[in-house]
């Protein structure tokens, strides 16, 4: 393949991703993630995944996209902003993570990703590939970093210099050679705000997050009772947690998203502390219809609300 079509194809894909609503698009060579391999192994050996046993599965596939898509040559990483223009009205009410304000991101992103893959096939030719949104063993933050979309912060989130970290990450792994972007510099410097602010000490060291101590883990992933040792440390979070992102200086550049599917329902924003404590399954189904909050189910959310309220 000559340089000319490779350049054209790259420009074409990036232009179409923007038209479909993605905020950023970066591309890297589909290769073995050498730098991440020892880190992932150490993280798993330290049992920092807690009961997220799926993190142990497909170790090789997590590190090599060519095992997911035979013949893969490029990983196209895409970012979609979810930062809301409004927040929950009652500051004393149980809080949910901003990423769950609107419709479930898995569906929203796939509605943009699948057309992008179709566009590539229609305009470039016989290209094989797969789309990924948190649904397979893909190290999305590592690929976004390699694609120059940001650096991995000390809270392990991808941080974009222009607009912070409130982004969903998705990938397109294809067997088409493209022009590749390079990584950007780490701009965290000596800042430790995220580490200092975490109430459960989940950020055990700079760039290392112990998933089994994270409020998001306790309120979403953990299926049994929340241990009493973290009682009083949740800062009112009932689903997920945004503390390490809220205190990050780079998020002063965050701008409200323009995605209609991420706009929160007025009823959700208007729930008072009392409404949350008296939440019924009927209200749960109505308010969180098509929401990522459904993942914890009514019983799980009820457990979380009780835990932070008593």
Q: What count of other Cβ atoms lies within 10 Å of the Cβ of residue 124?
A: 16
The residue assigned the tokens 């990584």 is: 183
Given the residues 104, 126, 128, 134, select the one marked as catalytic.
134
Which residues have C-beta within 8 Å of that of residue 35, sequence separation ≥ 6? 142
Instruction: Tell me, yes or no, if 134 is annotated catalytic.
Output: yes
Token readout for 309 is 């309220």
Which residues have C-beta within 8 Å of that of residue 160, sequence separation ≥ 6? 24, 79, 149, 150, 167, 250
Q: Which of 170, 221, 187 is nearest to 53 (CA)?
A: 221
Contact between 132 and 173 (Cβ < 8 Å): yes
Token readout for 14 is 């990036």
Q: Quick check: helix, strand or coil at residue 73?
A: coil
Token readout for 99 is 């990423």
Q: Which of 243, 262, 85 is nearest to 168 (CA)?
A: 262
The crossing angle, in degrees rounded to 10, of helices 105-123 and 3-19 is 140
Dist. CA 141–CA 151, nearest whole Å: 9
Beta strands in 72-166 (DSSP E): 74-81, 95-96, 129-132, 151-152, 158-159
The residue assigned the tokens 């880190």 is: 39
Q: What φ, ψ does residue 97 adopt, rounded to 5°?
A: -60, 140
Q: Which residues are catalytic?
A: 134
């Amino acid at each position: 393949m000559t340089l000319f079509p490779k350049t054209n194809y790259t420009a074409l894909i990036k232009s179409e991703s923007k038209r479909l609503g993605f905020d950023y698009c970066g591309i890297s060579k589909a290769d073995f993630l050498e730098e991440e391999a020892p880190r992932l192994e150490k993280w798993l050996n330290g049992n920092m995944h807690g009961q997220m046993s799926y993190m142990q599965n497909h170790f090789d596939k997590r590190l090599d996209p060519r095992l997911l898509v035979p013949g893969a040559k490029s990983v196209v990483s895409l970012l979609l902003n979810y930062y809301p223009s409004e927040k929950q009205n009652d500051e004393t009410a149980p809080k949910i993570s901003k990423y769950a304000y609107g419709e479930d991101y898995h569906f929203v992103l796939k509605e943009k990703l699948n057309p992008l893959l179709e566009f590539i096939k229609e305009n470039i030719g016989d290209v094989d590939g797969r789309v990924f949104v948190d649904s397979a063993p893909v190290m999305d933050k590592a690929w976004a970093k390699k694609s120059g979309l940001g650096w991995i912060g000390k809270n392990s989130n991808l941080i974009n210099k222009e607009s912070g970290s409130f982004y969903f990450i998705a990938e397109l792994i294809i067997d088409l050679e493209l022009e590749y972007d390079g990584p950007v510099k780490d701009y965290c410097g000596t800042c430790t705000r995220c580490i200092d602010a975490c109430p459960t000490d989940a950020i055990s060291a700079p760039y290392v997050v112990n998933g089994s101590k994270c409020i998001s883990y306790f309120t979403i992933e953990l299926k049994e009772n929340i241990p009493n040792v973290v009682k009083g440390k949740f800062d009112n979070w009932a689903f997920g947690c945004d503390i390490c992102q809220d205190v990050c200086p780079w998020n002063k550049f965050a701008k409200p998203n323009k995605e209609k599917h991420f706009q929160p329902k007025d009823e959700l924003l208007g729930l008072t502390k009392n409404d949350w404590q008296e939440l019924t399954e009927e209200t749960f189904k109505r308010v969180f219809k098509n929401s990522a909050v459904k993942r914890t189910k009514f019983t799980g959310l009820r457990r979380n609300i009780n835990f932070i309220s008593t």
